Amino acid sequence: MERQPHQWLSERSSEDVECQRALLALERLPRHVAIIMDGNGRWATARNLPRIAGHREGIESVRDIVKASAELGIGYLTLYAFSTENWKRPEAEVSALMRLLEYYLRAELDELDRNNVRINAIGKLVALPTRVQRILTRAIERTAGNTGLVLTLALSYSGRWDIVRAVQMIALDVRRGKLSPEDISDELFGSYLSTAGMPEPDLLIRTSGELRVSNFLLWEIAYAELYSTATLWPDFRRQEYYHALANYARRERRFGMTSEQVSASSNSVPYRTYIKELFDTLVQRRKG
């Protein structure tokens, strides 16, 4: 199946190509990356700018991370763009964020589509302004046949909201006689969540130094590896993303088993020092 984001691949610098090759050689990239994009407000305040300037710059990071994910062949990228709790922010900030979302979708739709990205959204979407709902539906429908990166925007979303919603739907199906309580398993429960059909996140990144999951994908991150960085979201670009991915590749995921059991299982690829060195040198060179 054709998965390549052709235009983006051909626009990469030669250094970037080298970096991505080194990462791919690790043979251990996550299938699904989830990101809590935090620190936009602090980024703006530190520059004496209104908070919305931080969100605006945050869009540049969204663009770069989406592109880098697609270029690397990562299957799923889920971004926490607006939580249920974010509705409590000052009205001016909420409406500015909604306008930015609309702007992003309008401005990027053609390019995302050309690069084989499939747009998806989770959350209480009916709570969004009609204009945002409209462009979101258009983006989802237009990219539905794409086979590359699945970009999921979590909007008016919270993990508890999704879990409660799933419980309600399961209870209804039990009442209608479509299910019996004994049928309820991990798998069945997952199939009632808004992330049904996606693999669970392998890596959860949070920017701005906070060590919280803030009601994001609560069920789905049971075994996710966590990566937290002090970098504020508007400053989080592909170089640091590559670091997070290389860091993930070095970890041993045991899923409750022992190290010996994991080594004996076929999906364990030993970490290769020479690639680590090559990768670190390249990232260092880019920074300098």
Q: Which is nearer to ligand FPP, 42 or 276 (CB)?
A: 42
Q: Is 113 known to be catalytic? A: no
Residues 157-196 that bind ligand FPP (CB under 6 A): none
104 touching ligand FPP, by CB under 6 A: yes
Nearer to ligand FPP, 100 or 184 (CB): 100
> For residues 219 and 162, is the Cβ–Cβ distance under 8 A?
yes
Among candidates 139, 140, 125, which has minimal Cα distance to 84? Answer: 125
| Interaction of residue 123 with ligand FPP, rule CB under 6 A | no
Q: What is the 3 state secondary structure string of 163-185?
A: HHHHHHHHHHHHHCCCCCHHHCC
- Single residue of 59, 117, 249, 275 touching ligand FPP by CB under 6 A: 59
Stretch that binds ligand FPP, among 56-64, 113-121, 138-146, 270-278 (CB under 6 A): 56-64
H/E run at residue 206: strand 203-206
CA distance 38 to 45: 14
Structure-token pair, residue 73: 């062949």
Q: Is 86 a catalytic residue?
A: yes
> Shortest gap between Cβ of 24 and ligand FPP (angstroms)?
26
The residue from 23, 35, 40, 150 that contacts ligand FPP (CB under 6 A) is 40
**Footprint (CB under 6 A) of ligand FPP, residues 215-244:** 233
Based on the shown chain and the rule CB under 6 A, indicate whether residue 29 belongs to the binding site for ligand FPP: no
Q: Please give the distance of CA 42 from its chain centroid, rounded to a whole number.
A: 21
Q: What angle do CA 279, 114, 131 make, to 5 degrees?
A: 110
